[in-house]
Amino acid sequence: MVQKTNSREKRKRPQPTPAQAAYVNLLSAADQTRTSFEAIVAPFDLTGQQYNVLRILRGAEPDGLPTLTIAERMIERTPGITRMIDRLEAKGLAAREVRPHDRRCVHCRITEKGLNLLKLLDQPADEATDATFRGLTEVELRLLTTLLARVRENQQRN
């Protein structure tokens, strides 16, 4: 008599290490979170990264920031910060200015139109954040924040 083996038995793989499981879960959660947030900003002709730049610029008011400082503060690093500022400027959401004392350094500021757009997005963005973490207690959120900060600090050392 021939016994059938189920497909799981045929595909036996070693169990992932705790680090491997954490890595996959971290990337998967980040991707799902990013995708759901992109759905919020897309109707406003924005990407998540452009939204991040606008938030950075709002926080830098009234002085604005140099382009490279914006790039350093972004959640997701991007080599195309100049092109991103170009797009925001073309939409009237950001403006550049060359400072007379340092012509090599270009400062960026958020425009009134950009501020108004962020006001429209503040509530939906806050609601999305709350929904993402609705299943966690405040203690769990604090622990998650601490653990993720440690992961990030470790990566910065490497």
Q: Is 59 within 8 Å of 75 (Cβ atoms)?
A: no
Q: How far is CA 52 from CA 29, 87, 108, 141, in A?
A: 19, 14, 14, 22
- What CATH number does residue 98 fall under? 1.10.10.10
- The tens digit of pLDDT for each residue in 44-64 reads 999 999 999 999 999 999 889
Beta-carbon neighbour count of residue 118 at 10 Å? 19
Please give the span between the terminal C-alpha atoms of the chain, in angstroms, as a whole number.
Answer: 57
* Mean pLDDT of the region 89-101: 89
* Residue 20 counted as domain residue: no
The answer to whether residue 89 sits within a structural domain is yes
pTM, rounded to two decimals: 0.83
Domain count, the chain: 1
Write down the pLDDT at residue 71.
92
Range of the domain at 95: 44-122
Q: Please report the sign of the dihedral spanned by the C-alpha atoms of residue 137, residue 138, residue 139, residue 143.
A: positive
